[in-house]
Amino acid sequence: MALTREQMAQRVAQELQDGFYVNLGIGIPTLVANFIPEGMEVMLQSENGLLGMGEFPTEETIDADMINAGKQTVTAVKGASIFSSAESFAMIRGGHVDLTVLGAFEVDVNGNIASWMIPNKLIKGMGGAMDLVAGADNIIVTMTHASKSGESKLLTDCSLPLTGKGCIKKVLTDLAWLEIADGAFILKERAPGVSIEEIQEKTQGKLIVPDHVPEMVFA
């Protein structure tokens, strides 16, 4: 069975470590915050200028001056800090964020990522995505393995305009956990009940399948 959005978030959360500063993109990445293991301290960075993003406010505590990068009203946790956009991107571009999780349209065997622009459709902009992929060392891309019409999103060459070049090393799809190295996807784990054949069929770029590919384990 393909993973649900929640299961994808849960699998990404297994990569968190105590003391990590983490930037979560919009969509599935945002859900990762719901699966931070108990007792683990993780600080969420929001690129509009907040380190230590907390939960949504109540009707009583809502504050128009307190939003996240998705423009949602939020709160700050104890120990949070707030700063300018330049400071925020100094953290991102300076490589100070321990883990970045973001979505994509396509990823290829050379670690290229396309996530912001579909030609002939309205282009809204890249926001902070280009800075995040260029600045971070540890990035996890979350996306479905193939489009609704069955076309692979794991390619030999991205077909869409890039967000970043050669910067992606880890991909979690609804079918598999993969790493990118030496011009290939390496299948590290598969979703429970998903066959290697199905993953091979839905991966257009070169796929290396080790002798043993364990199923993901969820607590």
Q: How many other β-carbons are positioned within 10 Å of the β-carbon of residue 185?
A: 24
Closest distance of CB 18 from other proteins, Å: 25
Closest distance of CB 32 from other proteins, Å: 17
By beta-carbon proximity to other proteins, the closer residue of 115 and 191 is 115
Residues acting as catalytic residues: 47
Distances (CA, A) of 34 to 5, 14, 24, 38: 12, 12, 12, 11
Only segment of 37-45, 138-146, 158-166, 209-217 that touches other proteins (CB under 8 A): 158-166
Task: Tell me: does residue 213 bind other proteins (CB under 8 A).
Answer: no
Which residues 6+ apart lie within 8 Å of 65 measured at CB?
none
The 154-155 sheet, strands edge to edge:
113-114, 106-108, 154-155
Task: Tell me: does residue 219 bind other proteins (CB under 8 A).
Answer: no
- Token pair for 110: 């050379």
Could you give phi then psi for residue 39, rounded to 5 degrees? 85, -5
Among 23, 29, 100, 128, binds other proteins (CB under 8 A): 128
DSSP one-letter string for 9-36: HHHHHTT--TTEEEEE-SSHHHHGGGGP
By beta-carbon proximity to other proteins, the closer residue of 134 and 208 is 134
Closest distance of CB 156 from other proteins, Å: 16
Only segment of 12-20, 45-53, 174-182, 208-216 that touches other proteins (CB under 8 A): 45-53
Task: Tell me: does residue 173 bind other proteins (CB under 8 A).
Answer: no
Closest distance of CB 30 from other proteins, Å: 11
Task: Tell me: does residue 208 bind other proteins (CB under 8 A).
Answer: no
* Residue ranges that bind other proteins, judged by CB under 8 A: 46-50, 55-60, 62-74, 76, 82-86, 88-89, 92-93, 112, 117, 122-131, 134-135, 161-166
